[in-house]
Structure 1
Amino acid sequence: MEIFGLPFPVLMGQIVVGLVNGCFYAVLSLGLAVIFGMLNIVNFVHGAIYMLGALLAWLLLDKLGVTYWYSLIIVPLLIGAVGCVLERTMLRRLYRIDHVFGILLTLGLAYIIEGLARYWFGAAGMAFSAPSQFAGTFDMGFMRLPKYRVWVIVISLAVCLSTWALIERTRLGSYLRAATENPAIARTFGINVSVLVTLTYGLGVALAGFAGVLAAPIYQVSPIMGSSLIIVVFAVVVIGGMGSILGSILTGLLLGLVEGVTRAYWPEASAVVIFIVMILVLILRPSGLFGKE
């Protein structure tokens, strides 16, 4: 069976690959949307944090024997704690001044983290095996679907929806929004704005660390694994609408599928199709598909 001249199993294989990539785009862009939408910081260190998450998972396994399952919990907590320290010591000083200072600071931090990782581990990739529970594939008749990729899709969607529900549908989320949208009024209601702002940034970078752990068994763990991905993720955030949490999730998944289908029919264009979509969206709707005018 062929669809527009392409065998159906080949097309489905690329769609699955695109969906997996889309899950990473969704989780990473969600973290960026949380940080920008609530703190107004363009967090260019996000790609380096994603790489750091994968690298920490590899180190925990290789040096301490900590399994993948424990890394899924430990690494985001460690990354979130580091993010809280960064917010307290550096980013807090930039909230009331021009965006460019935040961009320069986070970009500089990204280069420092990547440079240190290159110095200590080199530029070569390091293998990280998937858990034994996900060895093998599911036989779907027309194709074999790796079990680990199914796990990535399921857990990514669960984390994205849980984060959205936390921020938009819970009392804690309402406190977070109040603390960042109107801190003066929030303080009059006894809300500790300083702590909530710190936790918000910690949550955003913890999502990047979580994505890094998920990515480690699929892509080789390398100091440069986040540098190219972050540009694509920023494009996803722009298309979805800067600061739109649900928009980032949906746009990340959708653009992953678009990239997968493009790779099936026109491989040469798959690396730029997201940026073409971004240009069209900026021309027709500068605020993004889900952003506010």
Structure 2
Amino acid sequence: MEILGYPLPAILAQLVVGLVNGSFYAMLSLGLAIIFGLLNVINMSHGAMYMLGAFATWMGLAYFDINYWIMLLIAPVIIGLIGVAIEKTMLRWLYKLDHLYGLLLTIGVASFLEGLMLSFFGVSGVSYSPPSVLGGALDLGFMMLPAYRAFVVLVSVVVCLGTWLAIEKTKLGAYLRAGTENPELVGAFGVNVPLLVTLTYGFGVGLAGLAGVLAAPTVQVSPLMGANLIVVVFAVVVIGGLNSILGSIVTGLALGVAEAVVSMFYPDASATVVFVIMAIVLVLRPAGLFGKEK
């Protein structure tokens, strides 16, 4: 069976490749949506934190002989602590100001971190091999899917859904949402709102670090690996809805698949399809597909 001249197995294989890419989009956009949706901060340093997560994984093995599985647990914590330090020392002073100040600050942080890593590792970067236990491939019938990429999809879906459930369906999530909408009232009930805000930012940044750890064995780990990706991820968040965490997850996965399909039938448009979709969504529904109209 063929569709537009392509055999069905080839199209299915491309859909799976898109799902893998969409997994990274979903996890990165999730962290970005949490930070904006709960803290109203446009975090343009998110791509740099993704890059630091990948480099932390590589440095753990190269300098300290710490294997991938341990770094999968501790690297997001390290990146999250960096985010906590940024929030406590710089970002928290800007919450009552225009969004532009937070945007400019995070752009500056990203430029500093990327420049710092460039001075040590250069543009070409370094490579990182997947763990040996995930070095094989799965036979899906229509393609051989590397086991590590299947692992990436599984972890991404579990983390994304778990985070959404924690924020939307638990008491802690209710405190987070209430604390950002009316911090004085929530503080009157004995909740430490500033600490809650700091931990929220650290968690959102930690998700970017986790995405970097997962990406390290699939890409060349380089200082600029997050610079272009952050633009696409921001577009994903806009399409899903800036105030919708579930929208970011669903849109990230869907746009990864859409990008892969377009690259198969019309390769020249694969780099711009996300932005075309964003423009259409903004015209028809400015709040995003899952966003709430104000």
- Tell me by how many angstroms 1:4 deviates: 2.2
Q: Does 1:138 align with 2:144?
A: no
The equivalent residue for 2:92 is: 92
TM-score (norm 1): 0.98
> Which amino acid counterpart does residue 228 of structure 2 have in structure 1?
S
The equivalent residue for 1:158 is: 158
The equivalent residue for 1:30 is: 30
- Tell me by how many angstroms 1:202 deviates: 0.4
Deviations 1:106-139 (A, max 9, x none): 0000000000000011111311000111111111
The equivalent residue for 2:224 is: 224
> Which amino acid counterpart does residue 9 of structure 1 have in structure 2?
P
The equivalent residue for 1:284 is: 284
Name segments (4+ residues, structure 1) moved above 2 Å. none
> Which amino acid counterpart does residue 280 of structure 2 have in structure 1?
L
The equivalent residue for 1:20 is: 20
CA distance in 1, matches of 2:126, 2:11: 30
CA distance in 2, matches of 1:24, 1:141: 25
CA distance in 1, matches of 2:60, 2:281: 42
**C-alpha RMSD of matched pairs (Å):** 0.8
Conserved? CA contact 1:240–1:289, under 8 Å: yes
Deviations 1:223-249 (A, max 9, x none): 010000000000000000112100000
Conserved? CA contact 1:23–1:157, under 8 Å: yes
CA distance in 2, matches of 1:243, 1:130: 35
Q: How many residues align?
A: 293
The equivalent residue for 1:44 is: 44
Deviations 1:227-279 (A, max 9, x none): 00000000000000112100000000111110011111111111100000000
- Tell me by how many angstroms 1:13 deviates: 2.2
- Segments of 5+ residues of structure 2 without an aligned counterpart are none
CA distance in 1, matches of 2:31, 2:143: 33
- Tell me by how many angstroms 1:188 deviates: 1.1
The equivalent residue for 1:2 is: 2
CA distance in 1, matches of 2:142, 2:237: 34
The equivalent residue for 1:241 is: 241
Q: Does 1:118 align with 2:118?
A: yes
CA distance in 2, matches of 1:279, 1:4: 27
CA distance in 2, matches of 1:38, 1:143: 41
CA distance in 2, matches of 1:153, 1:169: 23
Conserved? CA contact 1:10–1:264, under 8 Å: no
Deviates more, 1:53-62 or 1:138-147: 138-147
CA distance in 1, matches of 2:3, 2:140: 18
CA distance in 2, matches of 1:63, 1:5: 50
CA distance in 2, matches of 1:164, 1:201: 15
- Tell me by how many angstroms 1:9 deviates: 2.7
Deviations 1:25-82 (A, max 9, x none): 0000000000000000000000000001001100001111111111111101011111
> Which amino acid counterpart does residue 138 of structure 2 have in structure 1?
F
- Segments of 5+ residues of structure 1 without an aligned counterpart are none
The equivalent residue for 2:106 is: 106
Conserved? CA contact 1:24–1:156, under 8 Å: yes
> Which amino acid counterpart does residue 182 of structure 1 have in structure 2?
N
Matched residues, percent identical?
59
The equivalent residue for 1:62 is: 62
Conserved? CA contact 1:60–1:67, under 8 Å: yes
Conserved? CA contact 2:10–2:142, under 8 Å: no
- Tell me by how many angstroms 1:12 deviates: 2.0
> Which amino acid counterpart does residue 139 of structure 2 have in structure 1?
D
- Tell me by how many angstroms 1:7 deviates: 1.8
Conserved? CA contact 2:13–2:142, under 8 Å: no
TM-score (norm 2): 0.98
Conserved? CA contact 2:243–2:292, under 8 Å: no
CA distance in 1, matches of 2:134, 2:4: 33
CA distance in 1, matches of 2:66, 2:243: 35
